[in-house]
């Protein structure tokens, strides 16, 4: 597993330095043959890793009908 990770990291560097689509396509072909990856998965593994320290903040919905809730509860009963 470690050798696979080393291979992927060197291939990722080559992929990111590739100047045109032909070079990238050749690298992806090599990944497909060597590791048996599907092409889309190989493309996904070649993308640069995000350098986020923390996950993005979750959006919270605003409570639009907070003022009307007691009335709605009374009508609902």
**Quick check: is 72 in a domain?**
no
Domain span at residue 20? Answer: 1-49
Q: Give me the pLDDT at residue 10, please.
A: 92
How many domains is the chain partitioned into structurally?
1
pLDDT in tens, 7-58: 999 999 999 999 999 999 999 999 999 999 999 999 999 987 777 777 777 8
**Quick check: is 44 in a domain?**
yes
> Is the CB of residue 15 less than 8 Å from the CB of residue 46?
yes
Alpha carbon distance, N-terminus to C-terminus of the chain: 61
Global pTM exceeds 0.75: no
**Quick check: is 61 in a domain?**
no
CA pair distance 17, 9, nearest whole angstrom: 12
């Amino acid at each position: 597993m470690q050798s696979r990770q080393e291979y992927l990291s060197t291939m990722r560097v080559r992929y990111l330095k590739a100047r045109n689509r032909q070079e990238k396509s050749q690298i992806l072909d090599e990944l497909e043959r060597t590791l048996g990856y599907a092409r889309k998965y190989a493309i996904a593994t070649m993308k640069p890793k995000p350098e986020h320290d923390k996950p993005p903040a979750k959006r919270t919905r605003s409570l639009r009908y907070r003022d009307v809730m007691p009335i709605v509860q009374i009508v609902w009963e």
